[in-house]
Each structure stands twice: as structure tokens, then as C-alpha cells.
Amino acid sequence: MRDYREYLGEILVPEDKLQSRIAELGSEISRDFAGLDNLLLICILRGGVLFLTDLMRKITIPHAIEFMAVSSYGVGNRETSGHVRITLDLNVDIRDKHVILVEDIIDSGHTISAVLDLLTTRKPASLCVCTLLDKADRREVNVPVKYTGFSIPNKFVFGYGLDIDDYYRNLPFIGVVDLEKYQSGA
């Protein structure tokens, strides 16, 4: 695996900015759901893991966590929500729970849209989306997003949960890939 520094174009969101925004989101969620004892955060694997674990430590009200995994058919193919497949489903009943879906990034919107459609059929008390990053310019399907960490431009980003060739999810910041440098070293 190449050293990411060979193709890191810029740091789009540094660690301190990420963490302070996550703290704000945690406070907002804690306020919005105060007094409820059936809050459930559902993390969409794998990219949302770092965000979930930091966010939950900033939420000051009782809550549970669960995980789901979703994959899309084909290479870079999310043209219709029909191409999204649930590969790991919940094994808890979400009926009457207040559910927040926790994502690292929303791009076309197909993934989160498919998960929202599925979970709505299970009759939660409420259902909303919290995403760390939102690439709104890329949206192909309209999805309601209640909590957004950062709206970002259409750049190839990695780090803090997002991978590049399956690696570097552990980086504490969001970086941008310099495609020319990345491709020249491939």
C-alpha cells in the first residue's frame, strides 16, 4: 500500500474542525431528543464507524447503537435504488424507537434512500439522517438530511472512515486525493 502522502492533495477538514463540529452535532441531538428513552443510532458500515463512535461520546442522553451494511451492484453503480442491497440487516425491532441513521457521506443519495425506505416499513417512532459529509452537487435522489457535519464539493475524499483502496479509514482528518498524483503512481 502506497503512503497516502504521495497523493494527498489537501486536507479538506482537519481533525480539530471535525471534532468540534461533531461535538456540536452531539449537543444538537441531545437537545432534540431530550426526555426520550428510546433513541437508537444506526451506523451504516463501514464508513460511518469513526463518526458514530465519536458522535455517541458527545451525546449526553441515553441511547443504543446498531449496525447495518449496504452494498451496491456493479462498479460505481448506484443508478437506481434497485441497485442497493442490504448485506447486514438489523436484528432488533425498531418499532416505536427514535432512529437516527449515521453515515459518513451522502453522495448520489441512493444508499441512504434505500435504507430509509426499508426502515420506514418497520414503523419507527421517528427516522432521520445524520451525515458527516454531504456532497449535495452529486445528488441523484432527494433525501431528507436532518443533521449535516460539512457540505463539501465534489472531490475524491478519504480518511476518517472513508477509504482509499480499502485503507486509510483511520486517518483523523478528511483529505482530498490529487488524482494526477494518484494515477501516476498506480
Query: From the CB of 61, what's the least distance to ligand PRP, in Å?
Result: 26
C-alpha cell at 28: 444538537
Q: Crossing angle for the helix pair 49-57 and 15-32, nearest 10 degrees?
A: 60
> Torsions phi, psi of 174, nearest 5?
-100, 120
- Closer to ligand PRP by CB, 47 or 175: give it: 47
Note the helical H segments in the chain: 15-32, 49-57, 110-120, 179-184
C-alpha cell at 165: 483502496
Q: How many residues bind ligand PRP (CB under 6 A)?
A: 15
The verdict on 52 binding ligand PRP (CB under 6 A) reads no
C-alpha cell at 97: 424507537
Residues 142-181 vs ligand PRP: string with x where CB under 6 A? ---------------------x------------------
Closest CA to 2 of 169, 164, 178: 164
Spatial distance between the Cα atoms of 1 and 168, rounded to a whole number of angstroms: 10
Annotated catalytic residue within 54, 107, 163, 166: 107
Query: From the CB of 76, what's the least distance to ligand PRP, in Å?
Result: 9
User: Distance from first CA to last CA of the chain, Å, rounded?
Assistant: 10
Catalytic status, residue 107? yes
Task: Find the binding residues for ligand PRP in span 88-127 (CB under 6 A).
Answer: 103-111
Residue from 26, 47, 149, 159 binding ligand PRP (CB under 6 A): 47
Q: Near ligand PRP by CB under 6 A, which window of 1-9, 10-18, 38-46, 148-156? A: 38-46
Interface residues toward ligand PRP, by CB under 6 A:
44-47, 78, 103-111, 163
Name the residues annotated as catalytic.
107
